[in-house]
């Protein structure tokens, strides 16, 4: 299989040949002639926050190995060849069972093993307050418990790579230290800390903000609030949902300028109702509308009900808002998630002999057009 396009790492037009799941050759290729739309070549996108998609729910009680396989295939259509399953606040047994199921899915399938390099626990150690809590179930929100985390990590076979914590919760600081000692990245989110609590969490080892600007009450003090503090903290990576709905363009632009492109990870935060046909659905006891433009809203209101778009939409919107190039933006969904979460995934230019990890896509309009993709021995042509 051959991939021909503009290599985002070298800036040159390349032909990359894949044989037996490995990169067999990397050669210069002719520049497209006038009238031919160029394609980009990048490593596969990594989405660090995927709650589910097209009816599959990583936090649901009916999750199956087959559903995980289907979800991996659907994400690949958008260029996302690797993702971090995200389990939101829930009961101990459901979380344990789903972690074990994800572990088993990886053990049984080489493609899933490559496609899922880790798991994110978004809760239950978050704020119980309305607004900050978001759509998380209040009855399961609780204080950080390192022994519970260790049991979950055992069930996951060491797959937990990211945990979202509210730093103001009792016991959060020692929990953060211990989680970091376990090799887990701690992210701050669904929280309302003061400056002292935020600083203590960072000093303890927290290094990321979960979907900065979201998971927060609609009204905050004008100057003294945790969003300013997280934007100003250079030691924190910023996870951002750049779907055009969660952060208005001016807010996204301001956060990107404050953090700098070198400290941003783009995520979709896509939910289980994302990708479904427009209409009314039930997510638990909540009635959700999937709008014709793909975004999810609480039925009959202007409020969001999770995310419905993938990184093929987030990248173009971020580029327009931040005023950056495609080459710069691709790093935010490839190299940056690896660095922020300390994933065992290759980054940077390809090397002959390594496992294939390529997506070929075209830009233009509100969504990328993915043409082909390969990850190890798996490959797919879309156009």
Looking up tokens 């190039």 gives: 325
**Per-domain residue ranges of the chain:** 1-43+349-383, 44-347
CA distance 44 to 254: 27
Residues in the chain: 383
Q: How confident is the model at residue 329 (pLDDT cuts 50, 70, 90)?
A: very high
Local structure of residue 187 (DSSP, 8 states):
E
* pLDDT of residue 375 exceeding 70: yes
Mean pLDDT of all residues in 58-64:
95
The confidence score (pLDDT) of residue 306 equals: 85
- 10 Å CB burial of residue 326 (0-12, 13-18, 19+) is middle
Mean pLDDT of all residues in 23-48:
91
Long-range CB contacts for residues 13-20, cutoff 8 Å, separation at least 24? 13/38, 14/41, 16/41, 16/350, 16/358, 18/356, 18/358, 18/374, 18/379, 20/377
User: What pLDDT, in 10s, does the model give residues 313-323?
Assistant: 999 999 999 99
CA distance 323 to 301: 32
Kindly report which listed range (2-16, 48-62, 126-140) carries the lowest average pLDDT score. 126-140
Mean pLDDT of all residues in 363-372:
95
Average pLDDT, the chain: 95
* pLDDT of residue 284 exceeding 80: no
The confidence score (pLDDT) of residue 300 equals: 82
CATH architecture of the domain covering 44-347 = Alpha-Beta Barrel (3.20)
CA distance 49 to 304: 17
CA distance 59 to 99: 9
CB 190 within 8 A of CB 218: no
What value, to the nearest 5°, has the Cα angle with vertex 58 and ends 46 and 153?
80
Q: How confident is the model at residue 235 (pLDDT cuts 50, 70, 90)?
A: very high
Higher pLDDT, 138 or 367: 367
* pLDDT of residue 287 exceeding 90: no
Q: How confident is the model at residue 370 (pLDDT cuts 50, 70, 90)?
A: very high
Give, for 297, the enclosing helix (H) or strand (E). Answer: strand 296-298
Which residue among the candidates 7, 47, 269, 312 is catalytic per the annotation?
Answer: 269
Give, for 257, the enclosing helix (H) or strand (E). Answer: helix 249-259
* pLDDT of residue 285 exceeding 80: no
Q: How confident is the model at residue 304 (pLDDT cuts 50, 70, 90)?
A: confident
Tokens of 134: 């978001």
The confidence score (pLDDT) of residue 130 equals: 86
Active site residue 234: no
Q: How confident is the model at residue 283 (pLDDT cuts 50, 70, 90)?
A: confident
pTM of the predicted structure, to 2 decimals? 0.96
Q: How confident is the model at residue 36 (pLDDT cuts 50, 70, 90)?
A: confident
Mean pLDDT of all residues in 229-237:
97
Q: Is residue 287 helix, strand or coil?
A: strand
Kindly report which listed range (60-74, 122-136, 146-160) carries the lowest average pLDDT score. 122-136
Query: Which of 319, 214, 215, 337 has its CA nearest to residue 267?
Result: 337
The confidence score (pLDDT) of residue 35 equals: 61
CATH architecture of the domain covering 1-43+349-383 = Roll (2.30)
The confidence score (pLDDT) of residue 38 equals: 85
């Amino acid at each position: 299989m051959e991939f021909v396009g503009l290599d985002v790492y070298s800036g040159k037009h390349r032909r990359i040949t894949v044989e037996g799941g490995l990169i067999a050759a990397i050669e210069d290729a002719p520049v497209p002639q006038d009238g031919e739309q160029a394609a980009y070549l990048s490593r596969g996108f990594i989405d660090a926050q995927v709650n589910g998609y097209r009816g599959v729910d990583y936090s649901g009680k009916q999750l199956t190995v087959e559903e995980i396989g289907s979800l991996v295939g659907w994400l690949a259509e958008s260029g996302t060849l690797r993702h971090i399953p995200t389990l939101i606040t829930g009961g101990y047994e459901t979380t344990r069972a789903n972690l074990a199921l994800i572990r088993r899915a990886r053990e049984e399938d080489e493609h899933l093993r490559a496609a899922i390099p880790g798991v994110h626990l978004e809760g239950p150690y978050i704020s119980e307050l309305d607004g900050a809590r978001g759509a998380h179930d209040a009855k399961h929100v609780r204080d950080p418990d390192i022994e519970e985390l260790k049991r979950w990590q055992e069930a996951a076979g060491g797959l937990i790579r990211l945990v979202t914590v509210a730093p103001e919760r009792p016991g959060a600081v020692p929990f953060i230290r211990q989680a970091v000692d376990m090799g887990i990245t701690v992210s701050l989110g669904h929280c309302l800390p003061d400056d002292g609590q935020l600083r203590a969490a960072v000093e303890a080892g927290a290094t990321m903000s979960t979907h900065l600007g979201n998971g927060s009450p609609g009204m905050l003090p004008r100057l003294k609030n945790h969003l300013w503090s997280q934007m100003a903290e250079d030691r924190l990576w910023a996870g951002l949902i750049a779907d055009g709905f969660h952060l208005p363009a001016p807010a996204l632009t301001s956060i990107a300028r404050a953090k700098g492109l070198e400290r941003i990870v783009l995520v979709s935060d896509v939910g289980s109702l994302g990708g479904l046909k427009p209409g009314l659905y039930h997510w638990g006891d909540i009635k959700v509308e999937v709008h014709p433009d793909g975004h999810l809203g609480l039925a009959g209101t202007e409020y969001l009900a999770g995310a419905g778009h993938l990184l093929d939409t987030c990248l173009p919107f971020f580029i327009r808002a931040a005023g950056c190039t495609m080459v710069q933006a691709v790093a935010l969904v490839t190299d940056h998630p690896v660095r922020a979460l300390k994933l065992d995934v290759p980054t940077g230019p390809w090397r002959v002999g390594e496992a294939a990890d390529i997506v070929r896509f075209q830009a233009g309009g509100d969504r990328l057009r993915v043409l082909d993709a390969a990850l190890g021995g798996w490959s797919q042509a879309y156009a």
